[in-house]
Amino acid sequence: MGKQARAIVDLSLKELVRDLNKAYADEWLAYYLYWYMAQMVSGRAYEDIKEMLEKIAKDELEHATELADLIVKLGDAPLANPMELEKNANNAYLMPPKNTADINRIIRIVAEAEAGAIEVYSKLAKKTFGKDHVTYQLVTHILSEEVDHEEIFENLLER
Ligand SMILES: [Fe+2]
Ligand SMILES: [Fe+2]
Q: Which residue has the higher pLDDT, 136 or 4?
A: 136
pTM: 0.94
Quote the ligand 1 centre to 59 CA distance (angstroms). Answer: 6
Question: Is the pLDDT confidence value at 110 over 90?
Answer: yes
Ligand at shortest distance from the CA of 62? 1
Residues with CB under 5 A from ligand 1 (ion): 27, 60, 63
The predicted pLDDT at position 21 comes to: 98
What are the residues whose beta carbons fall under 8 Å from the beta carbon of 154, sequence distance 6 or more? 111
Q: Is the pLDDT of residue 158 over 80?
A: no
Ligand nearest to the CA of 111: 2
75 Cα–ligand 2 center, Å: 26
What pLDDT shows up at residue 140?
98
DSSP, collapsed to helix, strand or coil, labels residue 76 as coil
**What is the number of the ligand closest to the CA of 66?**
1
Closest ligand to C-alpha of residue 148 is 2
Q: Is 92 left (phi over 0), alpha (psi -120 to 50) or beta?
A: beta
Looking at all shown ligands, the one closest to residue 26's CA atom is 1
pLDDT-based confidence at residue 159 (cuts at 50, 70, 90): low
Distance 2 CA to ligand 2 centre (A): 31
* 50-89: pLDDT as tens digits: 999 999 999 999 999 999 999 999 999 999 999 999 999 9
Q: Could you report the per-residue pLDDT of 4-62, keeping only the tens digit for each?
A: 888 888 889 999 999 999 999 999 999 999 999 999 999 988 999 999 999 999 999 99
- Determine the 3-state secondary structure of 131 from DSSP: coil
pLDDT reading at 147 higher than 90 = yes
The structural domains of the chain, ordered by start, are 12-158 (1.20.1260.10)
